[in-house]
Structure 1
Amino acid sequence: MKITAAVLHQCGGHHRPYGSAAPLSVQALDLDPPKPGELLVKIEAAGLCHSDLSVINGDRPRPMPMALGHEAAATVLALGDPDDGQFAVGDRVVLVFLPACGQCVPCLSGQGYLCANGAAANGEGRLLRGGVRLHDQGLPVKHHLGVSAFASHAVIDRRSAVKVDADIPAEIAALFGCAVLTGVGAVFNTAAVRPGESLLVYGLGGVGLSALLGALAAGAQPVMAIDPSPEKRALALELGAAVAVAPDAARDLPKADVVIETVGRAAVLAEAYAAARRGGRIVTVGLPNPAEMLAIPAVSLVADAKTLMGSYMGSSIPARDIPRYLALWRAGRLPVERLLTSVSPLADINALMDELADGRAIRQIVVLG
């Protein structure tokens, strides 16, 4: 079938502003039907994330050409297995950016978020069961994180979808596929925050503010935040943060039990490490350029008994955690709708990337007609 998608033909080397350089080409592609174990979905809403931007600017090299987008809500249109017992035509689903194969060592150890086969497929720009389903005049187009959500339709592995209630607005449901899953999961799963622990968040984008909301839901006190944007700091205070300061005032904050770094820069992670108390936990969810190296005093790992933890996808099991986080949202304890900056058509995708790169947006949503 013919679909419309935003395709990146070159990773890195694009000059700003993206609105005029137009690194993403909104164009027609051919989409193959789903194979057994796959779903054809109609994308309803897709969120812009720094993981998309980092492919455009070259921080995360990926094979080209690639149809971008990975955080989305969709409706199932067709099943690769007619007798699929989990999904049905018409289901509302949240798409997740790492399908867990269920057979590798991490999956069998309860760490599907570290699935070796899913990670390999994502790195190669293919679906979990092999190959691509997208083509441009007969030539293959790679999938972004198994989803390629900046499109009217997608074929995904069934393990890239979590069924949710149909009454959840698509622009809200989409946020649970990446920003909420990553930020809230870093609090609940990776850091295992306990009520009364102090928590500091570096960076107040979609993931950082989700982590802040998760910290408040977990009972952390006080919850503190650091970001250069006055608007984002003001929102953090409105959401319940006790303190929100610019980076140059970070030294005045007390040491925290838990520090969560969402910026994706090694220098910021080093600051986050220093901001934790002795015996504290530091969780990093940002994705720096692979060339960046982290420098910390090696002796502090022993002398200060600090724990530095990486958190991919919030150490989440999507089929377990997305329904839990949605239940918290329904209860008013995760007001993620406050993170929505704008809802725009797919045609605006390049200009929206400028707003994201400039730090002027928290979570932008594109709707697909």
Structure 2
Amino acid sequence: MRLVAHAPNRLRWDAVPDRPPGPGEVSVRTHFSALSVASELTLLHAGPFPAALGYQTLGTVEAVGAGVTLALGTRVVTTLGHASHGFHPAGRVVPVPPHVSDRAALCAILGEETHKGLRKVRPRPGEAVLVAGAGLLGLLSIFNLTRRGVHEVHLLEPRADRRALALTFGAAAHAPGELPHDRFQVGVECSASPAGFTELVSHLAPGGRCVVLSDGNGGALSLPPAFHQREVQVVGSSDGEDYAAYAHWLWAHAEPRLDHLFPLTVRPADLPGLYSQLQARGRPVSAVVDWRGALG
């Protein structure tokens, strides 16, 4: 079964076909699927419909088609979303080594997508970086920056609990209104908030560079006067380029604190009701759906 929105706020479990994998395909049985909260809430409200919900998934290889050398039972990360099982070309699943936890492995998908965005603005030695928003995208951006040797990484985030979490990843954390303008050479928009984006751009130095990673935005992002006055460069970024290469790096840098990005675990039957809870203040960074033992 797969969770699909067929109209605004109307969810249904649809059947996933049971069939042998074709040549070059693998069948993956889901163990965990992770929520991308802002993106999924946007899909749930605005479509386009029908919209299959979820994205990053961890499971095991259940069957393989002709020409595939992956062993049955191999633990892999992929992008089935909130589904009990599914099929992918073998090249789109990434094997996970035994020492990497399930939740850390789930970071490989959005980790590469944030890293691709950071590659577009390429912080140089000595430059200061400001990340707006400490959701999953923002915290993975901080992880990528600090673990790759960027020494001055700051966070702009209204919630104190998320600022505290960012501190554990090596960023200096600030509430809105605390920072001086013209301070940062690089900005990373992960807040999904028009006000957050406006403040982020206002803190960039002349000639600063900004990448927009958020896509589940709570309103249109508008360019403030600082964009023109300081000749700021703004670029968007979406899907990753090489998930396997990023995962290879992540497996060498995985650490227990990545598990803290997924503090809530639910069963598939509880997932539809979880979305209404996630619209309230105080929602977790992300959550995982535990599919082990579920039918479908």
Q: What TM-score does the superposition give when structure 1 sets the normalisation length?
A: 0.70
Q: Determine the structure 2 residue equivalent to 1:309.
A: 235
Whether 1:276 aligns to 2:204 is yes
By how many angstroms is 1:204 displaced?
Answer: 0.4
Identify the residue that residue 133 of structure 1 maps to in structure 2: none
In structure 2, the partner of 1:320 is: 245
The Cα offsets for residues 234-279 of structure 1, whole Å up to 9 and x where unpaired, read as 211233222x2222x2554662111100123445333322221112
Structure 2 counterpart SS, 1:151: coil
Task: Give the ranges of 4+ consecutive aligned residues of structure 1 lying more than 6 Å apart after TM superposition.
Answer: none
CA contact (8 A) 2:181 2:205 kept: no
1:340 Cα offset (Å): 2.0
Aligned sequence identity (%): 27
What SS class does the counterpart of residue 31 from structure 1 fall into?
Answer: coil
Cα 1:353–1:181 change in 2 (3 A) is farther
Change in 2 beyond 3 A, CA 1:192/1:155 = same
Write the distance in 1 (CA, Å) between the matches of 2:147 and 2:194: 28
For 1:276, the aligned partner's letter is: L
Q: Match of 1:95?
A: 78
Q: Please say if 1:52 is aligned against 2:45.
A: no
1:338 and 2:264 aligned = no
Among 150, 175, 198, the alignment partner of 1:246 is 175
Q: Which residue of 2 aligns with 1:69?
A: 54
Q: How many residues align?
A: 290
Gaps of 5+ in 1: 15-22, 97-146
Does the CA contact (< 8 Å) of 1:205 and 1:362 recur in 2? yes
Structure 1 CA distance for aligned equivalents of residues 287 and 274 of structure 2:
7
> Which structure 2 segments of 5+ residues have no match?
none
The Cα of 1:67 is off from its aligned counterpart by 3.5
Give runs of aligned pairs for residues 147-226 of structure 1, distance below 5 A.
Answer: 147=80, 149-178=81-110, 180-187=111-118, 189-226=119-156
Aligned to 2:158: 228
SS in 2 for 1:57: helix
When the two structures are superposed, what TM-score results if normalisation uses the length of structure 2?
Answer: 0.86
What is the rounded CA distance, in whole Å, between the counterparts of 1:195 and 1:219 in structure 2?
Answer: 9
Whether the 8 Å contact between 1:44 and 1:74 is mirrored in structure 2 is yes
How far apart are 1:291 and its partner, in Å?
A: 7.9
1:357 corresponds to which of 266, 279, 285: 279
Deviation of 1:199 after TM superposition, in Å, equals: 1.0
Letter in 2 for 1:246: A
CA distance in 2, matches of 1:206, 1:259: 16
CA drift of 1:355 comes to: 4.2
Secondary structure of 2:192 counterpart:
coil
